[in-house]
Amino acid sequence: LILIALVVTALAQQPLSLKEYLEQPIPEEAENLSGEAFAEFLNKRQSFFTAKYTPNALNILKMRVMESRFLDNEEGEMLKEEDMDFSEEIPVSFDARDKWPKCTSIGFIRDQSHCGSCWAVSSAETMSDRLCVQSNGTIKVLLSDTDILACCPNCGAGCGGGHTIRAWEYFKNTGVCTGGLYGTKDSCKPYAFYPCKDESYGKCPKDSFPTPKCRKICQYKYSKKYADDKYYANSAYRIPQNETWIKLEIMRNGPVTASFRIYPDFGFYEKGVYVTSGGRELGGHAIKIIGWGTEKVNGTDLPYWLIANSWGTDWGENNGYFRILRGQNHCQIEQKVIAGMIKVPQPKSAGPPLQPNPSS
Task: Tell me if 22 is assigned to some domain.
Answer: no
Q: How far are the Cα atoms of 19, 89, 91, 324 from residue 302, in angstroms, in the given order?
A: 12, 21, 15, 10
Across 192-204, average pLDDT: 86
- Report whether 158 contacts 117 (CB < 8 A): yes
pLDDT the model gives residue 5: 46
More reliable by pLDDT, 156 or 360? 156
Predicted confidence (pLDDT) per residue in 167-195, tens digit = 999 999 999 999 999 999 999 999 999 99
More reliable by pLDDT, 3 or 76? 76
Task: Tell me if 26 is assigned to some domain.
Answer: no
- Cα separation, 128 vs 226, in Å, equals 17
Domain span holding position 269: 48-360
pLDDT the model gives residue 347: 56
- Cα separation, 42 vs 49, in Å, equals 9
- Cα separation, 259 vs 137, in Å, equals 27
Q: How buried is residue 56: exposed, middle or buried, by Cβ count under 10 Å (0-12/13-18/19+)?
A: exposed
Q: What is the CATH number of the domain that holds 234?
A: 3.90.70.10
b/e sequence 330-344, b meaning 16+ C-beta within 10 Å: bbebbbbbbbbebeb
Stated pTM of the model? 0.92
pLDDT the model gives residue 57: 79
Predicted confidence (pLDDT) per residue in 123-146, tens digit = 999 999 999 999 999 999 999 999
Across 185-213, average pLDDT: 91
pLDDT the model gives residue 175: 99
Residues marked as catalytic = 118, 285, 309
Q: pLDDT at residue 360 above 70?
A: no
Q: pLDDT at residue 2 above 50?
A: no
pLDDT the model gives residue 352: 60
- Cα separation, 353 vs 163, in Å, equals 29
Total count of domains within the chain: 1
Task: Tell me if 211 is assigned to some domain.
Answer: yes
pLDDT the model gives residue 193: 97
- Cα separation, 143 vs 127, in Å, equals 7
Predicted confidence (pLDDT) per residue in 76-91, tens digit = 899 988 888 888 999 9
Lowest mean pLDDT, pick from 35-49, 56-70, 184-198: 56-70
Q: Which long-range contacts (CB under 8 A, 24 or more apart) does 292-298 make?
A: 292/93, 292/94, 292/247, 292/326, 293/92, 293/93, 293/94, 293/95, 293/323, 294/92, 294/93, 295/323, 297/18, 297/47, 297/48, 297/273, 298/15, 298/17, 298/47
Task: Tell me if 21 is assigned to some domain.
Answer: no
Q: What percentage of the chain carries pLDDT values higher than 90?
A: 74
- Report whether 196 contacts 113 (CB < 8 A): yes
Task: Tell me if 43 is assigned to some domain.
Answer: no
